[in-house]
Chains A and B, each alone.
Chain A
Amino acid sequence: MLASPASVIQAEIAKAKASAISLSAITRRFGHKWALRGIELDVAFGELVVIQGHNGGGKSTLLRVIATAITPTGGTGRILGKDLWRDATTIRAESALLGTSNGLYEDLSATENLLFAARMLGVRQPAERVAEALRQVGLANDANERVRAFSSGMQRRLAIGRLLLQQPKLLLLDEPFNTLDADGVALVSALIAGTRERGGAVVVVLHDLARLNMSPSATYTMTAGRLS
């Protein structure tokens, strides 16, 4: 028996509302090279999605498109219910990307880096929140040291601290376990769990599924710009 048009539409609306990410035919080129070739992706709130694949497959590019750090060459999508093309600024307020580079200013101290982030994010009571975040990532003792002096593990933890400040609804992680020790790995896991508890969605790009000690809702592999 066919479903009535009204209920089909309602189901679609409900699905759109509950979806954190909904991408259709997304493509992205860099000069002559196509990094993304027609991506279809749906992620609902509360889900943890893992994307695997070899280097150069376009995983980082996909995350950046979802984060609205770059615009795609073609395709449409809705992130957090907002249009990918038109409402990019509002999407950014509630999503966070931890990329392969940490995005830190090396001449500034840890506190200063986070304070800057807090001010840019419009966080209330920035000083306390920053101190709290530093404590949570175990950098409270090095708060006033310049980032230049940090080890790569410490820098990574500082970047995670920035994510703790933001409490995003959509968490995007690109190889988050790189250069982290056991404590750091625990932090990232806590971050992922925390986001899901608050009803958010998480997309993680990973080489090595083993370090993730929770089971993802879905796993995709990315090869040459296509998802499977």
Chain B
Amino acid sequence: MSAVAAKDLTAERRAKANIVAVTSLGALTLLVFGFAIGPDVATLRTAAAGILWLSVLFSGVLVFHRSYQIELDGGALETLLLYPGERWEIFAGKLLANLCVVLLVEAIVIPVALVLYHVSVPDTWPALLAVIMLGTLGFVTLGTFYSAMASRTRSREVLLPLLLFPMLVPVLLAATEGSSALLVGDPMGDAGAWLRLLIVFDVIFLLAALFVFEHIIEA
């Protein structure tokens, strides 16, 4: 499993252009949304969490595509399936690699959002970090799983968001609301409930993906 993760990460590192492009897209999305919403500071602050997560979503799908593209380019997927070892390990390895890349992108995009949308880092930032990590985990789990299928169909650009985004509604809501609440210090203690939701979501779908992956990768 770690071999797969390491391999994917090395490939990503080599193609530096890709990570730069994805991050730029994330930052660009933030900028463009800013134009769409207008310069009123109060509106920007309210919308900040939501727009941030949308940017992550749109940039993230590119990461998932590429993760499978490297397998499809050299015909490596078939070879990958010929090694002894469980299929779920392949999934876990890819999940880990994708997680690292998406977190890296977030590490750059989030400060940009803080700046563009006039948001200051709150005292509750550890909880905020937890929300971000858990939300990202749910996102990457489903993204890695669905792109294993979508990347191998005719219209992958359409199909992946079509399949993925409805599934991410709970994550989007939880992460957005949780982030919003924490950004203003969470006066009503809402964040706890959202955190719990994220944990439940992540556990359910991580287990489901590990179980079902072998069925979809071999077809």
B218 CB to nearest A CB, Å: 7
Q: Are B78 and A120 in contact (CB under 8 A)?
A: no
- What is the chain B residue whose CB lies nearest that of A68? B82
- The reply on A137 being an interface residue by CB < 8 A is no
B5 CB to nearest A CB, Å: 11
Selected contact of A107 from candidates B3, B6, B14, B85, CB within 8 Å: B14
Are A70 and B218 CB-contacts (below 8 A) given A105-B74, A120-B85?
Answer: yes
**Contact residues in A for B78 (Cβ distance below 8 Å):** 64, 69, 99, 101, 103
Are A92 and B84 CB-contacts (below 8 A) given A107-B15, A108-B7, A146-B14?
Answer: yes
**Contact residues in B for A96 (Cβ distance below 8 Å):** 82
Q: Are A92 and B7 in contact (CB under 8 A)?
A: no
Selected contact of A71 from candidates B10, B80, B218, CB within 8 Å: B218
- The reply on A47 being an interface residue by CB < 8 A is no
Hey, what's the 0/1 contact readout for A90-126 against B, CB within 8 Å counting as 1? 1011001101111111111000100011011110000
Query: Which range holds the interface residue count of chain A?
Result: 20 to 34
Q: Are A108 and B14 in contact (CB under 8 A)?
A: yes
Q: How far is it, in angstroms, between the C-alpha of A104 and the C-alpha of B71 when the chains are bound?
A: 8
Query: Which range holds the interface residue count of chain B?
Result: 20 to 34
- What is the chain A residue whose CB lies nearest that of B7? A116
- The reply on B73 being an interface residue by CB < 8 A is yes
**Contact residues in A for B6 (Cβ distance below 8 Å):** 116
- The reply on B42 being an interface residue by CB < 8 A is no
- The reply on A89 being an interface residue by CB < 8 A is yes
Considering only residues 54-87 of chain B, those with a C-beta below 8 Å from chain A are: 70, 73-76, 78-86
Q: Are A108 and B75 in contact (CB under 8 A)?
A: no
Q: Are B81 and A69 in contact (CB under 8 A)?
A: yes
**Contact residues in B for A108 (Cβ distance below 8 Å):** 7, 10-11, 14
- What is the chain B residue whose CB lies nearest that of A70? B218
- The reply on A67 being an interface residue by CB < 8 A is yes
**Contact residues in B for A117 (Cβ distance below 8 Å):** 83
Q: Are A105 and B84 in contact (CB under 8 A)?
A: no
Considering only residues 10-41 of chain B, those with a C-beta below 8 Å from chain A are: 10-11, 14-15
A73 CB to nearest B CB, Å: 13
Are A106 and B84 CB-contacts (below 8 A) given A71-B218, A101-B78?
Answer: no
The 3 A-B pairs of least Cβ separation, nearest first, read A101-B75, A103-B79, A93-B84
